[in-house]
């Protein structure tokens, strides 16, 4: 049985005739607070900032959180958190991304599963 919290949450049946939710959580090794937890999600304001960060990131993928915060006029810590959430990461270490500031370069850099050789081949084909 997988150890993920999401899997354990799916295993629990609220209307089980013989086992209470408390007992099911105990048997699965899941805290009841984890079963009841509902994510609040992002606010509309943060979603708007994430959209702006993504737009700026596509123009300048080499900007870090400090420069991004300066350009957009927001707090650096907020920029860091929203960049992590939107998965906008710096990619200046890859030569292909440093030479191309386009959507294609951002896509190539964000795919962490491909190796450097295939990234270079993909960049040449674009």
> CA-CA distance, 13 to 8, in Å (whole number)?
11
Least Cα distance to 81 among 65, 67, 70, 63 occurs for 65
pLDDT the model gives residue 31:
92
pLDDT band of residue 38 (cuts 50, 70, 90) is: confident
pLDDT the model gives residue 73:
95
Check whether 104 has a pLDDT greater than 70: no
pLDDT tens by residue, 6-23? 899 999 999 999 999 999
Strands (E), 3-121: none
- Helix, strand and coil in the chain, % to nearest 5: 60, 0, 40
Contacts (Cβ under 8 Å, ≥6 apart) of 64:
90
- 3 state SS of 76: helix
Q: What is the value of pTM for the model shown?
A: 0.50
Instruction: Determine which of 42-46, 103-107, 121-125 has the lowest per-residue pLDDT on average.
Output: 103-107
Q: Please answer whether residues 29 and 19 qualify as being in contact, where contact means their C-beta atoms are separated by less than 8 angstroms.
A: no
**Domain chopping of the chain, boundaries:** 5-36, 44-125
Contacts (Cβ under 8 Å, ≥6 apart) of 16:
24
pLDDT tens by residue, 59-102? 999 999 999 999 999 999 999 999 988 875 544 444 444 444 44
> CA-CA distance, 72 to 80, in Å (whole number)?
12
């Amino acid at each position: 049985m997988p150890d993920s919290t999401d899997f354990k949450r799916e295993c629990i049946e609220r209307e089980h005739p013989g086992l209470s939710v408390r007992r099911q959580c105990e048997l699965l090794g899941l805290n009841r607070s984890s079963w009841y937890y509902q994510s609040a999600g992002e606010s509309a304001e943060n979603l708007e900032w994430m959209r702006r960060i993504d737009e700026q990131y596509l123009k300048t993928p080499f900007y870090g959180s400090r420069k991004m915060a300066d350009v957009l006029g927001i707090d650096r810590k907020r920029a860091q958190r929203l960049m992590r959430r939107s998965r906008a990461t710096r990619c200046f270490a890859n030569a292909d991304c440093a030479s191309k500031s386009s959507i294609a370069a951002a896509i190539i850099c964000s795919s962490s599963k491909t190796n450097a050789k295939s990234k270079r081949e993909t960049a040449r084909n674009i």
